Structure formats: C-alpha cells, structure tokens
Chain A
Amino acid sequence: MKKIYLHPLPVRIWHWVNAISFIVLIVTGLQIRYREILGLMKFREAVDIHNIFGFILIFNFFIWLVFYIVTGKIKIYIPPLNLKKFVMGSLKQARYYGYGILMGEPNPHHSSPDNKFNPMQQMAYLAIMLLLIPLQLLSGLLLWDAKRFSDFINLAGGIKIVDTVHVFLFLFFMSFLFVHIYLATLGHTATAHIKAMFTGYEELEEEHGH
C-alpha cells in the first residue's frame, strides 16, 4: 500500500491541540452561556478554563501561522488564482460528494503535501483560518478583559455586538465540527484520514489497473 507523508509533526500537534481546545471551549462556552440548563461545573470554573484554553488557542494559531508562512506551505490554502479552474474544480468536488461518492466513483482530488486540499477545502479553510478563527480569537480576547479593551469594543460597536459575533462564530464552529468529523471518515476507510492525522502518513488506495 502506497503511503504519503501528508501531515508534518508541527501540523499534527497543532491540529490536536486545536481539537482539544475547541472541545473544551465549546463545552465551557455552553456552560457559561446556559448556566440554568447545564450544570457541569461552576460558572467561575467554566470562565477560568475557557480563558486558559482561549489563550492556548491564540498561541496555537500563531504556531500554525508561523509554520505555514515560514515553510511557505501556506500556498496549500490558497485556491487557484485562475477563476475558471477554481470554479470547475469546486464543482467537480461538489459533484463528487453529492453524486460520485454514492456511485462509487473515485475522489477527483488526490492529496499530496503540496496540494493537500481540494478547492472546496481550500475555500472553507482559508475563510476559517484567516478570517473566522482570528475573528473568534480577537472577540474572545476583547471579552476576556472588556475594561482594558473598551476602546476596541466601542470601535466594534459595543460589548453586545462583540459578544454576539463571538457566540455566532462559536455556534458556527460547533456545527462545523459535525461536518468536519464526518468528512474525516470519508477516506478509503472510515479511519484512514484520522489515522493519518496521528501518524502523518496517508494511505493511498491502490487504484486497480491505473
């Protein structure tokens, strides 16, 4: 079986730290917001844990950013500048998920270290990594010490606005998580992608006769 080294160690560490942080932040976030429904821990504990993992996530984001910029691998996130190529690629990929995969067709995208994401992934992750995550980290940081950052909060239109952005993104990430985990099971076996995220090596299905 052919294997390619798809996920370098820093990326894997970053991914799993991110994953744990996300889970913890979602749980504590829900606890903070829905005190009267959820009783997992005290409000104070939830806030403290949320703050700690918030900072871990901020730190982790910069690990990702520095790694990808320094190695130049950031280009795997950038969709092709050729619009036609990008649209066609996206449609092809969408067709695969909506039809091809059901019909047993092969995935039109073949991951390689230099071309890791299909066009849809590129679009989604570029938005997530360079827009939504930074926005979430920034709004979280402002809310962490609203007094200290009151000028920024006023600039953003008020603490309620900042909080609404933070919560909306939190809800988005929470629902995205279902999709993300599900898509992770769509390798040639259900655990192929997941294993790869631990080992770094993605197994490639032998394409018979090609």
Chain B
Amino acid sequence: MSEESAEKISGKSTVGLVIFGPILGMLYVCLLPIIALMTLLVALPELASAKKTDILQSSGMCMGCHSSQEFTKTFRNKEKMSVFVNEKDFKGSVHRFLNCTDCHGKISLDTHPGNSAMYEDRAAFTVAMASACRKCHSDSQLKAKPNHAFLTNKTNGPPCMECHGAHGVKRIAEWKPALSSNNQYCLTCHSQNISKKHKNGETLSLHIDPSGLSASVHNKHDCSDCHSEYTRASHPVKQFQSSRTHSIAVSEACKKCHADKYQAVHESIHFKMISEGNLKAPVCTDCHGFHSVGPKETYETLSGVPCRKCHEDIFKIYSKSVHGMAKAKGTHNAPLCYSCHFAHEVKVTAMTEKIKGACLGCHKDAEEAHAKWLPNAALHLSAIACAACHSPGSGKGIYLRLYDQETGKPFTEEQMLKLMGGTYEGMARKMDPHGDGIESDELWSLVSRLNEKGSNAKVTFFGRMDVSNGSEAHQLSFKKNAVKECENCHSQESDFFKSVTVAVVKADGRMTRYKAKPEVLGSMFSLLSLRQFYVLGSTRLKVLDWIGILMVFGGMSVPIAHITLRAITSPIREAKRLNHMRKEGKR
C-alpha cells in the first residue's frame, strides 16, 4: 500500500514538478533583481548599523571605563592626565570607524589598566601615540604639504595631536572653511603654543594671538605680505643669533609699505647705534610690536608711549614737568616724547636748533613774549637753550662748539680729524694734553690749527648756555618758575659760567664733550679763540680789568703829580711875582 501510495504520490509530484518547476524558476529569475535590490535596501542600513554596533560593542569594553570623567592616568613623573574619551567627539571624528586598538595597539586586557606607568610624562606619551598615525598616514602623504613637510623634518616637531587633536580628528572637509584664507592657513600652526630657539639659546615664541592680529591695523593683510618668503608651498627654516638680531631682521619687512618712515629711522640716532653694533637700540617692532601693531594713537598716550621702555628715567622727570602734568590731566595737545624728538627721525637733541624749533612750534608767541620784557630777546633765544631758563633747579653750563663761519654750520669731529689727523681716541689727547681740562692756550692753539691747515673753513667757537645734562631738559616747569633775573647770568660770579664744556659734534649730531677750565672764558687768549662769545659781565677779560685800574690810576696821577709839583714850586712863583712887582714899582 505504501508502495502504491508512494507510486501515486510520486506520479502526482513528478507531474507537479514538471509543470510548476519551470514556472517557479522563471518567476525566481525574474524576481531575483527585485529581491536582491530589496534585500540590499533592507540589509545595507542594517549592515551599517551592525558595523557601528560592532565598534561600540568592541569598544564597549574600553568605554566602560573611558566614558567616565573620574579616571586619570599617572605618568612616571607623577603628572596626571584624564583618560576620559568624549564619545560624541569620537563619533563625529573621521576615525569613527576605527577600533580603539587600531591606534592603541599595545593595550592588552591582561595588563590594562595596570599599575606601572609606561611613559615618563605626558609629552613622551603624546609622541609615542603619534607614531600610531603613521600606520595609515605615510611620510610621502604628509610631506606633500609644506607645513607637514616642515614639521616632519624637524627632530622635535610637534606631535600630530598638537594640531589635529586626539579623538576628535576632523575630516579634511571640516578644516576647509578654516583654511579659506592664507592667514588661517598659517594660524593652524601658529595659533598653537609653538616656539623655536635662537642660536644663543633664547626662545622665540612662534605663537600668534589671532585676536591680537585681527585687532591690529594690519588685519587686512596676509601673513605673507610681511613674511614674504613664506607661502603655502614654501616654509624656509631661518636661524638667528638672538632675539635682537631677529627683531632687526624682521623690521626690514616694514620698509615695503612704510618706506618714508623707514628712511626717517635710517637717519635717526637709534639706527646709527644699531649700525655701530649697539643692538640695544630700538627697531620698528620694539615700539610697534610684531603682530598687534596698533593705530597711531596707541603710541600717543602717556601709558602707551614706547620710549619709556628704555628712557624710563627721563620719562619720570617728564611726568613731573608742566608738559607731563598737562598730559596726565588730559590736555590733548600737551607734548609727549615724539612731539619734540620726532617719532622716527629721532636725533641727538643736545643743543641743536631743532629742539628749539620744536618748542617754538607750539609756543609760537614765545619770541614776542620774551621781547616784551627781555632786551635783545632774539639774541638771548639764540644763545640760550629754552631749558636753561625753564627747567628750575637744573645745572647749567657753557658749551663751546666749533662752527664754520663761512657756512654757518657746525665744524664736525670728522672735519677736525681730516685736518689734524689721528683717531677719535687720540683727539682727547690733542684737545686736552694734560687731561686736566682744556686751558686757554690749548683752546687757542686748537682754533689756530684748524684755521691754518689749509681748511677752507673759518673755524670759530660759538658759546651757548644749556642744561648740564639732557635729562634736566625735561623738567620744564611753569612760566612763573623760569629764570627771569638778569643777575643770574650777567655776573662773573654766576655759577653757570663755572662749568665750561667744549662740545665737538659728529656729523650725525652726536657730541663728544671735553671739560674746559672756566678761566678760558676770561683769558686773554679768548680774544682769539672765543671772539664770538661774550656775555656782559660774565666773560669779561681779566686783563682788561687790570688795564682799567692802571689807566684810572694813571689818569688820576697826572693831576696829583702836577698839583704836587705846583705846590713844591709855589715859592719860586711867589718870589718871581714879588720881584716882578718890585720892578713895576721901580718903574
């Protein structure tokens, strides 16, 4: 039965198979792409989420601890570091498909977390971790970008994480907006806390404060406008001796736009000092800063004036002066350093007419105002520095300067050397052979030597009264405190004539001072050497005083002698007169 039924069944099923098999096959083949498509449509997101789930699952073990902020790691030097991994950051990072162990390959659950610290400190750990990046990112890939190339060539370049972060590594696409401008390209690294060492061991911070840069007057500029050798394609490595030589070198960049100021600086005493090897003198960046160059007004305030960095002593004196006090009170047009000394063409101001021009620039009525009470006001103003009278309590002295009368210009040390030969050092010996202050005859022989030796100049000394030192010129006070009594100067006993200095100027305006004996002013030699300098009462010739005494006594002695002779001879005349009368009587 079972065979029969089996026969029946097989007979039936054979028929069904023969009939339905091909139909089903056809159907399957036709539906296959649709099924495949549907399967894919359904399975792909599943796959994706399955993968994700996988990572989370495989990282789950790690994140069990590392999602908590309470855990820290201690390095050998006892430095602590949080081991918290921000899951959200990681999920947003370009590395979100990686397993923790892909980078942290050395971690084994057998030993992690262990008690023994593997790394000396955080820095060593960071460097070691950076080698994980190299597993995927090859050298050639890195060196394609100049900034990376620059860093990878450095022995102690910063580890990758310094710029890119650790777990939150962004996609290139996300860097893009930040890299849109050249400046931001540079700032990717230079906003970091990076630095380099100069040859002398000084550290130069390469960090640039982006907010400072954007607040500066140069915020519309590209970095490469100043740092012209640096582009996206080139980042030369420069080495400077010291931070001073670095500042001096980078200040050259300012010239490109500020050629006029640069030229003015070139003629300044500051530049002169630098060119002579005195690197302490300021360059552009010392006053204006590097990247945070402010507007002009920044430097025109009591607090912002850069001069005080070096000239603090003088600044203190100035602060107490009539000008400093006015400035502090907020008087806008009260002068500050630059008003008299000029910001860029800073000159040696000692006893130059330029500084007087600066005074008269504001005190326009000064000449008239002096003329109202001071006889020969113009003469006084030309021979006396403003500060000599207007700086109460300042020491004063007479400065004798050589002038060429033909041109009216100072006769410089260079011209002297040309005529007299020798060196600057030897000059002191020539001027003051005994080293005890220049004497009258020495002064005269100097003038005659300068005039005889084939110089086309007519060299003579001009005398001038000024304060004893430059600082004192800054303690200018109120008008009522100024020297007004003639007697202060017009007396041989005036202290101002007790200090006599022969000032020899260099072509750049700097001075060499030689002490001279006060007697030179009243010596007979001064008739020859100081014939252009005379102050009523104060520089009178000693010898003329004696001649005067002799002449007056001579004049008085004539009548005295004659009266005496007449007294002696009066008996003769009396006898003659009587004799005469007798004769008359006889007749």
- Find out whether the CB atom of B531 lies under 8 angstroms from the CB atom of A36: no
Complexed CA–CA distance, A179 and B572 (Å): 25
Partner of B559, one of A35, A164, A178: A178
Give which listed residue, A33, A104, A171, contacts B573 with CB less than 8 A.
A104
Q: Which 9 A-B pairs have the closest CB atoms?
A: A175-B555, A158-B531, A182-B559, A104-B573, A178-B555, A102-B569, A43-B486, A35-B491, A175-B551
Residues in B neighbouring A160, C-beta threshold 8 A = 526-527, 530-534, 539, 541
B interface majority secondary structure: helix
In the bound complex, residues from chain A placing their C-beta under 8 Å from that of B558 are 178-179, 182
A97, chain B: closest CB distance, angstroms: 8
The 8 Å CB contact of B533, one of A159, A171, A177, is A159
A145 at the interface (CB under 8 A from B): yes
CA distance A47 to B379 in the complex (A): 15
Interface bits B364-405 vs A (CB < 8 Å: 1, else 0): 000000000001101100100000000000000000000001
* B 506-550 binary contact with A (CB < 8 Å = 1; else 0): 000000000000000000001100111110110111001001100
B425 contacts partner chain A, Cβ-Cβ < 8 Å: no
Interface residues of B (CB under 8 A from A): 375-376, 378-379, 382, 405, 460, 486-487, 490-493, 526-527, 530-534, 536-537, 539-541, 544, 547-548, 551-552, 554-556, 558-559, 562-563, 565-566, 569, 572-573, 576-577, 580, 584, 587
Known: A159-B534, A208-B584, A209-B584. A174 touches B555 (CB 8 A): yes
* Set of chain B residues within 8 Å of A42, measured between Cβ atoms: 486-487
- Contacts A43-B487, A43-B537, A160-B531 given; indicate if A182 touches B526 (C-beta within 8 A): no
Indicate which residue in B493, B532, B565, B577 contacts A102 across the interface (CB closer than 8 Å): B565
A69 on the B face (CB < 8 A): no
Please report the C-alpha to C-alpha distance between residue A128 and residue B382 in the assembled complex, in whole angstroms. Answer: 36
Query: What is the number of contacts between chain A and chain B, taking CB atoms within 8 Å?
Result: 119
A:3-45 near B, CB below 8 Å? 32-36, 42-44
Query: Interface on chain A toward B: helix, strand, loop, or mixed SS?
Result: helix
- Known contacts: A176-B555, A178-B555. The answer to whether A35 contacts B584 by CB under 8 A is no
Structural contact, B378 and A36, CB atoms closer than 8 A: no
Which residue from chain B places its CB closest to the CB of A31 in the assembled complex? B537
Question: Which residue of chain A is the closest to B382 with respect to CB atoms?
Answer: A147
Give chain A residues whose Cβ lies under 8 Å from the Cβ of B527: 160-161, 164
Task: Convert A141-173 into 0s and 1s, putting 1 for each residue whose CB lies closer than 8 angstroms to a CB of B.
Answer: 000011100000010011111011001100110
Closest residue of chain A to B373 (Cβ to Cβ) is: A44
Once the chains are docked, how many angstroms separate the CA of A159 from the CA of B405?
A: 13
Please, how many angstroms separate the alpha-carbon atoms of A36 and B538 in the complex?
10
Q: How far is the CA of A208 from the CA of B576 in the complex (A)?
A: 14
The complex places the Cα of A48 from the Cα of B551 at a distance, in Å, of 27
Known A160-B534, A168-B547, A174-B551: A102·B491 in contact at CB below 8 Å? no
Contact A171–B569 (Cβ < 8 Å): no
A sample of 20 inter-chain contacts (CB < 8 A) reads A32-B490, A33-B536, A42-B487, A44-B486, A102-B565, A103-B572, A104-B576, A147-B382, A154-B405, A158-B531, A158-B534, A160-B527, A160-B533, A168-B544, A171-B548, A174-B552, A175-B554, A175-B556, A181-B559, A209-B584
Of all chain B residues, the one with the shortest Cβ separation from A170 is B548
Q: Does A101 contact B (CB under 8 A)?
A: yes
From the candidates B379, B532, B539, B547, name the one contacting A171 in the complex (CB within 8 A): B547
Q: How many angstroms between the C-alpha atoms of A101 and B563 in the bound complex?
A: 11
Total chain A interface residues with beta-carbon distance under 8 A: 41
Question: Which residue of chain A has its CB nearest to the CB of B491?
Answer: A35
Q: Given A34-B537, A36-B492, A178-B556, A159–B531 Cβ distance below 8 Å? A: yes
CB contact between A43 and one of B490, B563, B566 (< 8 Å): that residue: B490
Distance in angstroms between the alpha carbons of A51 and B460 in the assembled complex:
29
Partner of B537, one of A33, A104, A172, A182: A33
CA separation between A164 and B382, bound complex, in Å? 22
Question: Given A35-B493, A171-B544, A179-B558, 7 more contacts at CB 8 Å?
Answer: A48-B375, A158-B534, A159-B534, A160-B539, A172-B551, A176-B555, A178-B559
Across the interface, which residues of A come within 8 angstroms of B532, CB to CB?
158-160
> B555 touching A177 by the CB < 8 A rule?
yes
- Nearest residue (CB) in A for B379 is A147
Given contacts A43-B490, A102-B565, A171-B548, contact A163 B534 (CB under 8 A): yes
A179:B555 contact, CB within 8 angstroms: yes
Alpha-carbon separation in the docked complex, A164 to B547 (Å)? 11
Contacting residues of chain A (165-210) with chain B, CB-CB under 8 angstroms:
167-168, 171-172, 174-179, 181-182, 208-209
**B residues in contact with A43, CB < 8 Å:** 486-487, 490-491, 536-537
Please give, as numbers and ranges, the residues of chain A lying within 8 Å of B490 by CB-CB distance: 32, 35, 43
State how many angstroms separate the Cβ of A61 from the closest Cβ of chain B: 22
| Bound CA span A111–B541, Å | 42
Q: Shortest Cβ distance from B124 into chain A, in angstroms? A: 81
Chain A residue with minimal CB distance to B579?
A104
A167 contacts B544, CB within 8 Å? yes
Which residue on B lies nearest to A102, using beta carbons? B569
Query: Known: A43-B490, A160-B531, A164-B527. Is A35-B537 also a contact (CB below 8 A)?
Result: yes
Expressed in whole angstroms, the Cα–Cα distance for A153 and B420 within the complex equals 29
Q: Within 8 Å CB of A171, what residues of B?
A: 544, 547-548, 551-552
CB nearest to A208 among chain B residues: B584
- Name the residue in B531, B558, B587 with the highest tally of chain A Cβ atoms < 10 Å from its Cβ: B531
Q: Whose C-beta in chain A lies nearest to the C-beta of B558?
A: A179
Q: Give the most central of A32, A161, A171: most B CB within 10 Å.
A: A171
Q: Name the residue of chain B whose CB is nearest to the CB of A148.
A: B378
In the assembled complex, which residues on chain A have CB atoms less than 8 Å from the CB atom of B572? 102-104
Contact of A36 among B493, B547, B562 (CB under 8 A): B493
